[in-house]
Amino acid sequence: MALIEGHRAIDAPPGVEIWDIDPYDPDVQRSPSAFYAALRAKGPFVYLSRYGMLACGRYAETREVFSDHSRFVSSRGVGLQDFQLDSPWRPPSIVLEVDPPEHGKARRALMRALSPKAVAEMRDSFQIAADALLDEVIETPEIEAVSALAETFPTTVFPKAMGLLTVDRQVLIDYGSMVFNALGPDNETRRAAMAHAGDIVPRIAAQCERANLAPNGMAMTIYKAADAGDITEGEAGLLVRSLLSAGVDTTVTGIGNALWCLSQNPDQFDALRAEPSLATNAFEETLRYTSPVSAFCRTANADTEVAGVAIPEGAKILCVLGAANLDPGQWENADRFDITRKVAGHLALGAGIHSCVGQNLARAEGQAFLSALARKVARIEPTAEAVWRPNNAMHPLDRLPLRLIPA
């Protein structure tokens, strides 16, 4: 049987609109809001004819599929490939690409390393780093904020918190790009990201070894779970790889997107400056409004039904988190960036047992960064159009030219 992008194509279920759009088209990825709106308008699901799969973008169904780990599994991959039918480019993640019961053991080891208490102990150093970075950057009024701020801040604080002894920021960023772009089809974007694999994969593997980790970082906390017999030494290495896979590009994108939101909405930046404690909610609203992780797939593990739609075993479902997070049926003034709104329930960090295990840490980074911005910058002015970077699972900026006026 012929596979499309590594999965078995299904037929369109009765009553589901057939749509020939390519969600992985770089033009759609750079400017996804029309795609998001059309996806929601067409029904609870659409049939993506070029991939022989389903997609959803209304809040209720996206949440249902994304969080029901027994009907919609992750072990068959959260991209287009079905790991039962086609082999993935790297050994699967033992936390992302796995189901219960195996999932629980890995998740618990990560939860200990990323606990609220562990994150609380990082906060002061994050704030010092954010303040220092902004003090330095506002010396130069005109910046390209993706490289000057969004990439610099997380790649300064996160490898240190992990306890990486040697850090090549570009390797970390490029590895994240591989991991996320590999979730899409074999398109130009994926091929460009994967072109670096030969150099990067061995360097990431070395980063995960115990010998290359500081005794007091998060990564060593994971190895201590191996010492305690909770996981194996090999599993510890793979969980450290998960931190490197999911911990860099996500927060780089979140912080870049926050700068974009605030630069486009000066009234909201004024509100943040007036009340810097809004930093936490401003970051959360950025997650809802821009969905740094725009879409992941699930795979139906048996014939089932959602919202009256028959879904056959083996169906891939593209869960478009970015569309759900802008669903006007769920959010008042959904397309308004409002740092004071009640934003709980957004799907930018997922939902259910696979929801982002690093979310406390991600929020701590976002909060420290936006708090520093609120105190040190009086005005953020775009100096040229922002440019978005095509990515098969994320919605990141490529370039964000800004002028920062010091407070």
Q: What is the DSSP letter of 293?
A: B
Binding pattern for the stretch 204-243 against ligand OVV, x by CB under 6 A and - elsewhere: --------------------------------------x-
Prior bond to 13 cis, omega within 30? no
DSSP 118-182: HHHTTHHHHHHHHHHHHHHHTTSSEEEHIIIIIIHHHHHHHHHHHTBSS--HHHHHHHHHHHHHT
- The Cα 98–Cα 105 span in angstroms is 11
Nearer to ligand OVV, 221 or 242 (CB): 242
- The Cα 51–Cα 22 span in angstroms is 8
- 93 sits near ligand OVV (criterion: CB under 6 A): yes
Position among 179, 219, 220, 364 found at the interface with ligand OVV (CB under 6 A): 179
Residues between 245 and 264 that touch ligand OVV (CB under 6 A):
245-246
Nearer to ligand OVV, 180 or 388 (CB): 180
Query: Least distance in Å: CB of 161 to ligand OVV?
Result: 17
Query: Least distance in Å: CB of 279 to ligand OVV?
Result: 24
- The Cα 341–Cα 287 span in angstroms is 12
Nearer to ligand OVV, 187 or 359 (CB): 359
Nearer to ligand OVV, 13 or 92 (CB): 92
Query: Least distance in Å: CB of 290 to ligand OVV?
Result: 17
Binding pattern for the stretch 123-162 against ligand OVV, x by CB under 6 A and - elsewhere: ----------------------------------------
Neighbours of 149 (CB within 10 A): 26
- 171 sits near ligand OVV (criterion: CB under 6 A): no
User: Which residue from 352, 398, 110, 372 is spatially nearest to 249, judged by alpha carbons?
Assistant: 398
- The Cα 26–Cα 23 span in angstroms is 8
Query: Least distance in Å: CB of 148 to ligand OVV?
Result: 25
- 301 sits near ligand OVV (criterion: CB under 6 A): no
- 268 sits near ligand OVV (criterion: CB under 6 A): no
Specify the amino acid at residue 240: V
For ligand OVV (CB under 6 A), the number of binding residues is 8
Nearer to ligand OVV, 290 or 391 (CB): 391
- The Cα 253–Cα 255 span in angstroms is 6
DSSP 170-226: HHHHHHHHHHHHTTS-SSHHHHHHHTTHHHHHHHHHHHTSGGGB-TTSHHHHHHHHH
Query: Least distance in Å: CB of 199 to ligand OVV?
Result: 19
Query: Least distance in Å: CB of 44 to ligand OVV?
Result: 25
Token pair, residue 239, equals 């969980």
- 95 sits near ligand OVV (criterion: CB under 6 A): yes
Query: Least distance in Å: CB of 72 to ligand OVV?
Result: 16
- 391 sits near ligand OVV (criterion: CB under 6 A): no
Q: Point out which residues bind ligand OVV (CB under 6 A).
A: 93, 95-96, 179-180, 242, 245-246
